[in-house]
Chain A
Amino acid sequence: MAAAALCWALRAARQVLPSPCPGQVRSYYVDWRMLRDVKRRKLAYEHAEERLRINAIRKNSILPKELQEVADKEIAALPRDSCPVRIRNRCVLTSRPRGVKRRWRLSRIVFRHFADHAQICGVQRAMW
């Protein structure tokens, strides 16, 4: 019963169940690169505290160096995808890695498209 519920939840995370909402309904991630980015974000969230604490041990001058070396090895042993540096802020709709505005999480092309159709709140063509 629990396993079935979990499977259902996972499937729902991947697919948006058809609900009566206007606009596009996207059932999958745009491409595999976006999927990998999602996985990296999840792992980074899970290991964030550990990484913080081990780094606190590594990056100080009070503790003995041997201890810091041991901490180095430990942090290298964590999965590679758990470090936040590997996350790329892609466009949410097109998965474009470059030209993404952080506030809207959209690439410049999509942003322009929606802004011209007046579908972004408070955004207007500049004229001065």
Chain B
Amino acid sequence: KDKSAACKDSTPEGASKRQEDGAETPKQQLLDIIGNMKVEVSYRKKLQQLKASGSKKQALNKLEGLDSEGSLPQETTEDTQRGKPLNPELVKAASAVASSLPRNKKQTESELLAQLRRHEETTDKQKKGGKINIRNVISEMTVKRQTPAQRSARISGRISLQLDEDGRGIRPGRSSAQSVDFRRSLKVGKRLNIFTKASTEPEHALKTVSSPTIWDLEFAKEVAAVTAQPPRNGFEEMIQWTKEGILWEFPVDNEVGMEDDAEFHEHIFLEKHLEGFPKEGPIRHFMELVICGLSKNPYLSVKQKVEHIEWFQKYFEEKKELLQEI
């Protein structure tokens, strides 16, 4: 009750509603409790609520939005503390809400109860430390739609009141707009406690890189020697030999170790490498013979052939003066 009072004080828009809520009918109390419990508000229900009441529901929703941060965990812990089967108070509250809504009281009541049960289940799971099934959590959460009037009201309310998370001060404009743009899903909501802070990673990286000591190498060698047991049978021996490279891999691959990425035309048509040579004369004749021989050579790689030709080019350039005399 104190909580709700404080929250009501904080909202200037809810000024007119405060008087109504301040009446504190038991029905209102229950409605407040339910309104503070979040998560499962389906779109249909939202529409119903909007159509049904109007201002009363708007106030409730605003409270819900503003309180969801602080009140939620407290509410849920209180709920779980009360007991595993659905609380009779909650059941009463559910029936009250169902009665307040215009259509299909029984259906809404059953749906509310089902949602409460699911809520209890998830909180129990989290208590036991079970796997956090994100999918379930997210599937239950649905996107809330608001009218633009509501939105503007909320924004104005926020700007005047809330501080940034840093506590730096009021920053109307970008940050609040951004967080509001994402439908209050960034900073609002229960912490799922899935991710832990990665604190000392850079230090670890530096440490491991800088010192591969001799002792580490020795240890690694020791481990390798211990784990390498002698082969128990012929198959294991053959496996070991294959790993070492003594034995080939079967079926035999004729091109093991040969990684010639060049096409056949690069092996055969080597005339483009002959550009550095004079176009006529005995040298050209000689080089053409060399190229003919290289093109028929299947044992050299393209790189080696090119090196061969380049060696000759260099050699003849060095002997140029000699050749001029002739």
A→B interface (CB under 8 Å):
49, 53, 56-57, 60, 62-64, 66-67, 70
Contacts and interface: CB of A to CB of B under 8 A. Distances in A.
B290 A64 contact: no
B282 A63 contact: yes
Contacts of A53: 308, 311-312, 315
Contact of B323 (A57, A62, A67): A67
A62 B315 contact: no
Nearest to A50: B311
Closest 3 CB pairs of A and B: A62-B282, A62-B286, A62-B285
Given A60-B286, A62-B282, A62-B286, A67 B319 contact: yes
Contacts of A67: 319, 322-323, 326
B289 interface: yes
B286 A63 contact: yes
B290 A56 contact: yes
Question: What does DSSP make chain A's interface, helix, strand, loop or mixed?
Answer: helix
B283 interface: yes
Interface of B: 282-283, 285-286, 289-290, 308, 311-312, 315, 319, 322-323, 325-326
Question: What does DSSP make chain B's interface, helix, strand, loop or mixed?
Answer: helix
Nearest to B316: A67
Contacts of A57: 286, 315
Contacts of B311: 49, 53
B280 to A, nearest CB: 13
A67 B308 CA distance: 19
A13 B312 CA distance: 35
Given A53-B308, A53-B311, A53-B312, A66 B282 contact: no
A57 B235 CA distance: 54
Nearest to B308: A53
6 contacts: A49-B311, A56-B290, A60-B286, A62-B286, A64-B323, A70-B322
B323 to A, nearest CB: 7
Contacts of B285: 62
A60 B289 CA distance: 11
A63 B282 CA distance: 6
Contacts of A62: 282, 285-286, 289
Nearest to B307: A49
